[in-house]
Structure 1
Amino acid sequence: MSLSKYFRTVVAAVAILVQPALACSFDISFNSNFEPGAVRLPASEVRKLAEWMVDSPGRYENKEEFHILVYEARTVGVSHALARKRVSHLEHLLTTFGVPVGMISMEIARFNPGKSAEPPDFAHINFMPGCPHPCCPGPEPTSQIR
């Protein structure tokens, strides 16, 4: 076997082995919307968040991070101050449900009309579990969910 043919075979084998690892996308999200101008989620949405905490992150023994995202949209009345209050409200809810502050990251993104996929009053919490979970690195993904 020539060196170039050997090299191509090795590259092809690596590409095949790496593909499943790169294709794994593990996204456990809670999405909601604030009422226009509101600092807090409606009670019905807080209840849905509580249920989500039990049904989704609650299934994983190890929790790595909770990421909060809200928009700042000055043109439609979501000032930076309002966005900060919304982030604080969501952080408070997560800590009330037992999430340590050190596991929470927060982001206030600028809303771009026509470019942002979500509405300006969008609330997003993304949960990233720690290993073991189906996308953990290794020869075989693990899925030890309690």
Structure 2
Amino acid sequence: MSLSKYIRSVAAAAAILAQPALACSFDISFNSNFEPGADRLPASEVRRLAEWMIDDPAAFENKKEFHILVYEAPTVGVSNALARKRVSHLAHWLTTFGVPVSMISMEIPRYKPGKSAEPPNFAHINFMPGCPHPCCPGPEPTSQIR
């Protein structure tokens, strides 16, 4: 076998082996927006959050973490106190839906006009499953989400 054929074979094998790793980059998140000045989501959004909890995180037998992100944006009326109330509101609903407080982390970054990708009243909950799931490292990752 010539050197160029060998290099092509190794490159092809590496590409094939890399496929599962690329397929396992996933994001399971709930995104919403608070009304300006509001510290609670509207009932329709709480319902959507409940449906998300049933449809997405519930599909995994183990749950690792729920991360809440809400912006502080004083220039548009989202004080640190309001941002903390918003985070508490979202954490309340997660615990109401059965998430232990120990699995909830929170972040309140300062909104930067022109640099932040989302609007200042943005609400984000990111779910990270625990193993087993298709992206877990190990000799026998789960091949199917339950």
TM-score w.r.t. the length of structure 2 is 0.85
- 1:14 deviates by 9.3
Indicate the SS of the match to 1:110: coil
Give the match for residue 90 of structure 2: 90
Which amino acid letter does the alignment assign opposite residue 118 of structure 1? E
- Percentage identity across paired residues of the two chains: 84
Provide, for residues 65-86 of structure 1, a one-character-per-residue CA deviation record: whole Å limited to 9, x for no partner: 0000000001100001100110
2:57 and 2:129 in contact (8 A); partners too = yes
Give the match for residue 4 of structure 2: none
Computed over aligned residues only, the root mean square deviation of the Cα atoms, in angstroms, reads: 2.5
Which amino acid letter does the alignment assign opposite residue 95 of structure 2? T
Give the match for residue 3 of structure 2: none
Larger mean CA deviation between 12-21 and 37-46 belongs to 12-21
Shift of the 79–12 alpha-carbon distance from structure 1 to 2, 3 Å rule, reads: same
Give the match for residue 55 of structure 2: 55
Gaps of 5+ in 1: 1-7
Indicate the SS of the match to 2:109: strand
1:21 and 1:137 in contact (8 A); partners too = no
Confirm whether residue 26 of structure 1 aligns to residue 26 of structure 2: yes
- 1:40 deviates by 0.4
Gaps of 5+ in 2: 1-6
Larger mean CA deviation between 24-33 and 42-51 belongs to 24-33
- 1:110 deviates by 1.1
Indicate the SS of the match to 1:106: strand
1:33 and 1:122 in contact (8 A); partners too = yes
Which amino acid letter does the alignment assign opposite residue 72 of structure 1? E
Provide, for residues 110-146 of structure 1, a one-character-per-residue CA deviation record: whole Å limited to 9, x for no partner: 1111111111000000000111212111356424433
